[in-house]
Amino acid sequence: MPVKPVEIEEFSSAATDVYEAIVIASKRARQIHQDIKIELSQRIETLNQLTNTTESEEEVDVAANPDQLRISLEFEKRAKPTDLATQETIARKIKYRYKVVEKPEVEPVAEEPEPEA
C-alpha cells in the first residue's frame, strides 16, 4: 500500500494548528472505521444466517465460502479510513467543537488559626 503524501500547509490550515488537525482527522478516522466494521459484521452475519439455513448440518469453512470472500475483497478495495478522514479534514467537511467542562463552584474554606503551644 503506497504512502499518500499530504501538503502540511493545506492540512494545518483546516484547524488552528497541525496538531489539532491531526487529532480531528484521527477521531474521524476512528468513526469511519467503526462504521465500516459494523457494516462488514452485518453483511457477514446475514450471509452466515443464509448459509446456516441452507446447510444446517454441514460445517461451513470460511475459506470455502465464495460469497464471504467476495464481501471481504470488496471491503479491502475501499479507501482507507485515514485517507477519507484526511480528505474530509482538508476539505473542511468536518465540524468539531471542544468539550465545555463546567467547573463545580467550591466555596473557599477559611483556614483556622493554628493553636499556639
pLDDT given at position 55: 57
**Structural domain spans, the chain:** 8-90
pLDDT of residue 59: 54
In the chain (117 residues long), the average pLDDT of successive 10-residue segments reads 84 90 95 95 86 58 71 90 94 89 80 71
Please, are residues 24 and 94 in contact by the beta-carbon 8 Å criterion?
Answer: yes
Cell of 40: 462488514
pLDDT at site 54: 58
How much is the pLDDT for 20?
A: 93
Answer yes or no: are the C-beta atoms of 88 and 94 closer than 8 Å.
yes
